[in-house]
Structure 1
Amino acid sequence: MNRYNTIKQNQQRLRKRYKQLIEQAYNFRQTDSEISDISDFQAIKILNKLNRLKYLQRGEPNLPLQ
Structure 2
Amino acid sequence: MKPIDDIKIHQRKLNQRYKELIEQAYNFRQTDSALSDISEYRAIKLLNKLNRLKYLSRESAQTSI
TM over 0.5: yes
Where do 5+ consecutive residues of structure 1 fail to align?
Answer: 62-66
| Higher relative helix content | 2
> What is the CA–CA distance in structure 2 between the aligned matches of 1:42 and 1:28, rounded to whole Å?
14
Q: How many residues align?
A: 61
> What is the CA–CA distance in structure 2 between the aligned matches of 1:12 and 1:49, rounded to whole Å?
12
Q: Equivalent residues in 2 for 1:1-66 (5 A)? A: 1-59=1-59, 60-61=61-62
Q: How far 1:41 sits from its partner (Å)?
A: 0.2
> What is the CA–CA distance in structure 2 between the aligned matches of 1:42 and 1:19, rounded to whole Å?
11
Q: Deviations over 1:33-64 (max 9, x none)?
A: 00000000000000000000000011203xxx
> What is the CA–CA distance in structure 1 between the aligned matches of 2:25 and 2:37, rounded to whole Å?
7
**Residue identity in the other structure for 2:21:** L
TM-score by length of 1: 0.89
**Residue identity in the other structure for 2:42:** Q
**Which ranges of 4 or more aligned residues in structure 1 deviate by more than 2 Å?**
none
Asked which structure has the greater RCO (Cα within 8 Å, sep 6+), the reply is: 2
Once the two structures are aligned, what percentage of the paired residues are identical?
A: 64
TM-score by length of 2: 0.91
